[in-house]
Amino acid sequence: MSADPPCPCGAGAPYASCCGRYHAGAEHLRAPDAERLMRSRYSAYVLGLTDYLLATWHPLTRPARLEPDPPGLKWLGLELRRHLRRDDDHATVSFVARSKLGGRAQRLVETSRFVREGGRWFYVDGEVG
């Protein structure tokens, strides 16, 4: 295995210089835009980083806790379809996240809403479908 494996988000960069830098420390809430935050959140799901997911979820819509993925769930990839910045503090990101559970392929198709407050981007909610 490589010392710095490819990032799960599919951007084509090594994990440490891609989403890993947001997961690792002070920069973790400082993704520069909604697309990078969405990619880092996908990688966090792949890696089981629930603290990061909760920290990047807007306080008004954030659940109290996240359940772990079902045993055997395998994340297969992320396809970014659209990143639309509506203004300096609001954006949407449409994507498809593929996974497999119990031999069955699954696709999550979502348009997520993001807001920037205090210089930090947060996931607000998403419309599935």
d(CA 95, CA 79): 6
Position 8 in a domain: no
Tell me: pLDDT of 26 over 80: no
Q: How far apart are CA 123 and CA 113, in angstroms?
A: 6
Question: Is 105 among the domain residues?
Answer: yes
Number of structural domains in the chain = 1
What would the two tokens of residue 110 be?
A: 């979502």
Q: Which helix (H) or strand (E) holds 110?
A: strand 104-117
* Residue 128 confidence (pLDDT): 93
| pLDDT over 60 (residue 42) | yes
- CATH number for position 119: 3.10.450.50
Res 1 pLDDT > 90: no
> Is residue 79 in some structural domain?
yes
Q: Is the pLDDT reported for residue 59 higher than 90?
A: yes
pTM of structure: 0.92
Structure tokens at 109: 């198709």
Q: Do residues 54 and 43 make contact, with C-beta atoms less than 8 angstroms apart?
A: no
Range of 67's domain? 15-128
Q: What's the rounded Cα separation, in Å, for the pair 41 and 35?
A: 10
Residue 55's H or E segment, with its range, is: helix 50-55
- Whether 73 maps to a domain, the answer reads yes
